[in-house]
Every structure is written in structure tokens, then in C-alpha cells.
Amino acid sequence: LPKLFIFDLDGVITDTAEFHYLAWKKLGEKLGVSIDRNFNEQLKGISRMESLERILALDPSLSLSEEEKEILATDKNEYYKQLIETVNEEQTLPGVEVLLQTIKENNIKIALGSASKNASMVLEKLGLTNYFDYIVDAAKVKKGKPDPETFTTAADALSIAYPDCVGIEDAAAGVHAINDANMFSVGVGSMDHLAKANFVVHDTSKLDFEEIVQHFSN
């Protein structure tokens, strides 16, 4: 059996990935750049500042000072925080809490591996904090996804070898990070973006403990 499951937050545990998208879209409108869902795939799992850089790169005529960039990043976070105000215990995605319970029943550790500075707050709003033995968020890592540091930090904190870990992600950057950490990667979403994952499920309702473990052991 694996010894540690590391969950991504936004887009895996709850649908805040949608709120990040809507907040970037709104900021994009202000800047006159259009952000569609396809482009948004490149922002998933990527830090706030790096996401902003990728958006600004869409329009080479936008050259901004560091100070202006900080203001825009703060604006985006304000939109995002308005959107997550309504997040509550009913908004954990289907199948996730059952999976968390099953992992616990098997005496396997659970960590969070999120790029978000808002991660602990969202987990708290969902009422899921108690399931987690360790939380890695943006404050704990120097190099964000696709660098493996988010995932290795969780394993190191709990003294678990990387090949004994399973990482669950909705973002291509996150799957890349898990693979580079030498862990088993489970992708949640479309094969178009997650083909590099060791095992892909269409959505969280298909996250089945036995099935993951079976693929992990093969």
C-alpha cells in the first residue's frame, strides 16, 4: 500500500479552480486580454504571480512595473476571495470525503499539496482540516509546481519515501511535479491535459481507493 496520499486542493478537493478562472477572466477584461478555458489550463496549479506573468505575456504591449503587477495580483486575489466567501461544507467534490475516510481507515497518512496562499482557509471552510496530517501551501515552498518541491516537502515532513506516495492533481503542472518527485500520479480531468499521469480519472466521483491502490502496485 502507499504510505502517503498528497491531495491538490483547487480542482481536486473542491471546485475553486473555477473561481480562480473567473477571477483571472475578470482581471483580463480590465487589461483587455481575453482568457478562455483552454488558456486557463496553463494557469492551473501555477502561483499567483507566475499566472499573472503568463497573462501579461499574451499582450506584448503591456509592460508594467513590479509595483503595478503587485496591484493587479492583489486585485485578482480580492475577486477570488469574494468568490470563495460562499464556500461551505457542501462544496467538497463528489467522492473526495469518502476517499479521505478510506485512506484514514487504512492508517495511511494524508497531506495537502497546494500552490495557493488561501489553501488553509478553503480547507477550513470545507470542514476537512482534521483529515490532514500535513499541509503544504504557497508559504512553505520556494519553487512552485511544476517543480516537485510542493510534493517532496510533504513527504519529507512526514518522513515517507517518495515512491511510497500518491499525488492527486487536476493540473498538468501538478502531474509534472508529482512525476518528477518520483511519486505515483493520479490525474483528475481530461486526458488532453493530463496524459502524463500514471492513472487518470474523468472526475472526482471516479476516485476509488481500491482502484488507485491497484494501479499503484502494478
Q: Which residues are catalytic?
A: 8, 10
Amino acid at position 97, single letter:
E
Confirm or deny that 116 is annotated as ligand binding: yes
What are the distances in angstroms from CA 68 to CA 23, 30, 40, 117, 118? 17, 13, 22, 20, 22
Confirm or deny that 15 is annotated as ligand binding: no
Under rule CB under 5 A, residue 112 binds Mg ion: no
Q: How far is the CB of 135 from ligand B16 (least distance, A)?
A: 11
Q: Which of 117, 202, 206, 215 binds ligand B16 (CB under 6 A)?
A: 117
Identify what 43 binds: ligand B16, Mg ion, none; CB under 5 to 8 Å per kind: ligand B16
Length of the chain: 218
Under rule CB under 6 A, residue 128 binds ligand B16: no
CB nearest Mg ion: which residue? 11
Identify what 114 binds: Mg ion, ligand B16, none; CB under 5 to 8 Å per kind: ligand B16
All residues at 6 or more sequence positions from 16 whose CB lies less than 8 Å from its CB, including other chains: 9, 10, 84, 87, 116, 122
Under rule CB under 5 A, residue 189 binds Mg ion: no
Q: Where are the beta strands (DSSP E) in the chain?
A: 4-7, 109-113, 134-136, 165-169, 184-188, 199-201
Identify what 92 binds: ligand B16, Mg ion, none; CB under 5 to 8 Å per kind: none
Closest CA to 23 of 4, 7, 40, 41: 40
Under rule CB under 6 A, residue 187 binds ligand B16: no
Sketch the per residue contact string, 147 through 186, with Mg ion: x for CB under 5 A, - otherwise. Answer: -----------------------xx---------------
Identify what 197 binds: Mg ion, ligand B16, none; CB under 5 to 8 Å per kind: none
φ, ψ for residue 69, nearest 5 deg: -65, -40
The C-alpha atoms of residue 207 and residue 162 are separated, in whole angstroms, by 21
The C-alpha atoms of residue 3 and residue 80 are separated, in whole angstroms, by 34
Under rule CB under 6 A, residue 91 binds ligand B16: no
Confirm or deny that 95 is annotated as ligand binding: no
Confirm or deny that 178 is annotated as ligand binding: no
List contacts with ligand B16 (CB under 6 A).
8-11, 17, 20, 43-48, 51, 77, 114-118, 138, 171
